[in-house]
Structure 1
Amino acid sequence: MKRVYKITLLLGITISIASCHNNSAPNYQYFPNMYQSIGYETYSESSAFKNGKEGQLPVTGTINRGFEPYEYENTPEGYDLAKANLKSPLDSLGRNSGEGQALFEIYCISCHGTSGNGKGKLVEREKFLGVPSYKDRVITEGSIFHVVTYGLNAMGSHANQLSVHERWLVADYVLKLKSQL
């Protein structure tokens, strides 16, 4: 008898659950956009932006947070101006030769060599030719910073890899290497 009651109860629950489902009016969906997402064409106009534009531009005259403008142009004249006028903002405590050496070993040693003589691994394997020794060059901290920022000849820019502070540390370390040659 108990078994008949259990089967009847189970059958009643199943029928009541099945009767609640209606295909013409489906149940409530939590976050319906997750289930039926709206497709957008790439670079198309959208009502999400003002006036249906493709995107919004930053306010005129603003700069990125943490951005420091560099006033010298990527020209021979800009190089000469940086060589003559640009001075390091690092004080004696900020000139960490250990950190400058570590950055030099990561980014510069493969071409310029451990002592700055222009005999790095890539030069020895003849991948790059004509990397000058620091001893043969008339360089200042401003010219080094400018070259690391923009690149020169076969050397590319390192502005994306090194922050402004790190570029000054590298320039300081290169001058120390030059004094040891």
Structure 2
Amino acid sequence: MLAMNKKNLLGTVCAAVALTALVSSCGDKTTRSTGLEFSRNMYDPLAFNPDQPNANFADGKTAQAPPKGTDPIGFTRFEYANTLEDYVRAGAEVKNPLLVNAENLEKGKALFTTYCSVCHGVEGKGDGPLTKDRSVTDSRGTRQLENFPPPPSYHRTDKANSSRGGFMADLTDGKIYHTIYYGHNSMGSHASQLSPEERWKVVMYVHELQKK
């Protein structure tokens, strides 16, 4: 008899808990409240969101400008301006910090093929597909696409001149890196596409093209 009473009591308690959970989770169609919530602090952030007001700062904003002179984690500063003078200075001062080996050259070739060959060509002769006549056909018919002017060849045998002086085959580490970082003429900056290490691998591979 005692066991039956305990069983009935346990069943009653479970039913009451279930009913309470059900009722608390249902709205009355007059409020947006979701009722009782479990472990709210597990998904409500304790920290401020960047766009939230914040009384801890004088300007009331959470997102603050970083202290002057500091760099984000993983950011490598390039201390040369986008000027001809600093292009020349970088060419004289900046050296590739990476070791020349088969692995870095292979990666540099892959990056060059992906990001550079569309204009410079796979072999660096300035004959990439964007420099050639191209057309597209769609529901509006067939039309010609804009051609980009071909960049000078890197090959020493072609004796191509750089628009900033000297042969393309004589471009140094710093000059190539500066151009990748800032871009030049029709070439846009590739600083956002390539990490500093990847840029240096491309520089390394360009030197291989210069030997041809």
The two structures have a TM-score, normalised by structure 1, of 0.71
**Structure 1 residue 52: deviation in Å?**
5.5
Q: Aligned AA for 2:128?
A: G
Q: In the alignment, which residue of structure 2 is the partner of 1:86?
A: 94
The two structures have a TM-score, normalised by structure 2, of 0.62
RMSD between aligned residues: 3.3
Structure 1 unaligned residues grouped into runs of 5+: 1-12, 35-42
1:101 is paired with a residue of what secondary structure? helix
Residues 1:173 and 2:205 are matched in the alignment: yes
Q: In the alignment, which residue of structure 1 is the partner of 2:127?
A: 119
Q: In the alignment, which residue of structure 2 is the partner of 1:76?
A: 84
**Structure 1 residue 131: deviation in Å?**
1.4
Q: 1:142/1:61 Cα in 2 relative to 1: closer, same or farther (>3 Å)?
A: closer
**Structure 1 residue 46: deviation in Å?**
2.2
Partners of 1:46 and 1:52 within 8 A in 2:
no
Could you report, residue by residue, the CA deviation over 1:42-80 in whole angstroms, capped at 9, with x for unpaired residues? x7x824543451233334442100111111111111101
Q: 1:117/1:58 Cα in 2 relative to 1: closer, same or farther (>3 Å)?
A: same
Q: 1:81/1:46 Cα in 2 relative to 1: closer, same or farther (>3 Å)?
A: same
**Structure 1 residue 106: deviation in Å?**
0.3
What percentage of residue pairs aligned between the two structures are identical?
39
Q: Aligned AA for 2:60?
A: K
Q: 1:61/1:142 Cα in 2 relative to 1: closer, same or farther (>3 Å)?
A: closer
Q: In the alignment, which residue of structure 2 is the partner of 1:10?
A: none
- Structure having the higher helix fraction is 1
Q: 1:53/1:103 Cα in 2 relative to 1: closer, same or farther (>3 Å)?
A: same
Query: Distance in 1 between the 2:67 and 2:78 partners?
Result: 21
Corresponding residue pairs, total = 154
Q: Aligned AA for 2:98?
A: L
